[in-house]
Amino acid sequence: MPVFKTPFNGYAVKFSPFYENRLAVATAQNFGILGNGRVHVLDLTPTPNAPITELYAFDTADAVYDCTWSEDNDNLLVTAIADGSVKLWDLALSPTSNPIRSLHEHSREVQSVDWNPVRRDSFLTSSWDDTIKLWTVDRPASVRTFKEHAYCVYSSVWNPRHGDVFASASGDSTVRIWDVREPTSTMIIPAHDFEILSCDWNKYDDCIIATASVDKSIKVWDVRNFRIPITVLNGHSYAVRKVKFSPHRDSLIASCSYDMTVCLWDYRVEDALVGRYDHHTEFAVGIDMSVLVEGLFASTGWDEFVYVWQHEEISRIPVGEDNGDSCNLIGLLLVPSPLMPRRRSSRREPRKVTLMHEFCYASLICSFCHLRCQKLCAARRGCKRGTAGGGGRSRRTRQDDTPQEEAASKEDDPLHREAEEQDKMILLKKKLLVKEEDPLHREAEEQDKMILLKKKLLVKEEDPLHRSGLGALLNEPRRQIWFGSSSQQTRRRLGDSGPLLNANGIFAVGGGEDAWVIRVALLNARGD
């Protein structure tokens, strides 16, 4: 996983919409509380194991909390500064000519900045002064100020399809939907009971929005019916700082949290958490996904590190075939490690991919885990493929092998035997279930139980202690006796005083571990 060390604490990352190997990073000194800031522009070299290089770096007098790229100019970068200003940087100019503009209208820290992806001529800033401002590049002052929130506005994001609509998340526990053509907000969603730190629109459905809160949860909403959320994603152990919808998959969400993890979610399935990354050692506060490269992620945190990685779904790796990747297991995702160069498989024709079985998933335990998983899957399907020892390279059974030779090789394979045993157990369970549902089978079981009980009673009648104790009870006219099982707690041993009768009507005779119990029911005065 490529890593870049920043001199200050990381706050935000943003992939360029024009260059797939360019990334902007916003950082702040002393965790953003006091001190300077710096903006880094990094180059992600496509060569495996190559380090991330820095193309540009711009220093500021205060912390930099967020950054975004222009959708119209590939060299223009906008940053949110802790002193309440918004600074614009032009990479085509020398460092001494930057920033090209500093817009200062907010009275407190600017927390976020977002460029309009539809109109491409304006951007939004949200601030701790409870306001949101709309800006254009060609005007020195803001176009409009939106002020309805009762507390800090932590995030404001444009709708990906409607250039006049945006959403804002605030510390007043609400999300507001705005239309710049309307004088006030068009919708208020009381999304959480605590501060909302981030929100983002679904890139494929302009009515779906996700919110992240201090309450450790992520909620997905449909603005057409926002009485209840579509789903609630729980998995973080501290406040969720950032949430982002994938630009390539409509149901995939990425989040980062103060619990120092980055999580991936599929909000449309029951088991929504599909990946967890714990590479950060301090608060993870910045996350982004590349628009140009599917599956390319970047994150940053207070540990002063920027991580960039490419993830692959487990279902994309052909089962029973080694593609030469060294993989790290993270939930349902396999992340290629930079420790080994990637080797492409010589098999070129397309082949249907089969998902891993549950017992295979449990065996993914190390960096070469998928090799064992593929072996088990191949053995379970009775496949002719195996894996050679030494290096884990896949091989095929020779076409001229006879059926007897193939059968002998399978019998010698412990993985094949293990898979066969599991198949037998599954078949046995199915037969038992069928028997349990058969009424004749249940009736036969009841008869067997009665025969076994009668045999036990006959053995007990031959016991002299049993006869003496039972005879004493039978001589009393107002008592009835029947036999039944009892737990260890209700057993009473026979002492020197003879048979014992406790408060629950338990009559115990016999001694030692073979003590048995008779329950005595007292009858009424009529002897019914």
β-bridge mates for residue 124, sequence order: 114, 134
Cα–Cα nearest to 89, from 40, 124, 139, 143 = 40
In sequence order, the 6+-apart residues with CB closer than 8 A to the CB of 181 are 164
Residue 424: predicted pLDDT = 79
> Going residue by residue through the chain (528 aa), what tens digit of pLDDT does each one get?
789 999 999 999 999 999 999 999 999 999 999 999 999 999 998 776 778 999 999 999 999 999 999 999 999 999 999 999 999 999 999 989 999 999 999 999 999 999 999 999 999 999 999 999 999 999 999 999 999 999 999 999 999 999 999 999 999 999 999 999 999 999 999 999 999 999 999 999 999 999 999 999 999 999 999 999 999 999 999 999 999 999 999 999 999 999 999 999 999 999 999 999 999 999 999 999 999 999 999 999 999 999 999 876 533 333 333 333 333 333 333 333 333 333 333 333 333 333 333 333 333 333 333 333 443 344 433 433 333 333 333 333 334 445 555 555 556 666 667 777 777 777 776 666 666 666 776 777 777 778 877 777 766 566 555 555 545 444 444 333 444 444 443 343 333 444 444 444 444 444 444 444 444 444 333 444
What is d(CA 173, CA 191) in angstroms, rounded to the nearest whole number?
6
What are the start-end ranges of the H helices in 122-224? none
Pairing of strands 252-257, 240-245: antiparallel
Q: Reduced to 3 states, what is the DSSP secondary structure of residue 157? A: strand
Q: Which residues pair with 54 in a beta bridge?
A: 42
Phi, psi values for residue 29, rounded to 5°: -80, 145
pLDDT of residue 461: 60
Tell me which amino acid residue 304 is.
Answer: E
For position 460, what pLDDT does the model report? 59
Residue 61 tokens, joined: 């007098």
User: Closest by alpha carbon to 472, among 521, 503, 509, 506?
Assistant: 509
Q: Using CA atoms of 87, 90, 96, 98 in order, give the dihedral in degrees to the nearest 10.
A: -10
Tell me how far apart the alpha carbons of residues 351 and 370 are, in angstroms, rounded to a whole number: 18
CB hemisphere CA count around 320 (13 angstroms): 21
Complete DSSP assignment for 203-235: SS-TTEEEEEETTSEEEEEETTS-SS-SEEEE-
The pLDDT value given to residue 356: 32
Q: Residue 521's closest CA among 499, 506, 500?
A: 506
| Contact indicator for 465, 509 with CB cutoff of 8 Å | yes
Looking at residue 131, its pLDDT comes to 97
Does residue 198 sit in helix, strand or coil?
strand
Structure tokens at 463: 């016991």
Could you tell me the sign of the dihedral formed by the alpha carbons of 103, 106, 107, 112, in that order?
A: negative
Nearest to 199 by CA among 168, 229, 227, 162: 168
User: Element (H or E) spanning 461, and its range?
Assistant: helix 439-461
Residue 85 main-chain phi, psi, to 5 deg: -100, 165
Radius of gyration of the chain (CA): 35
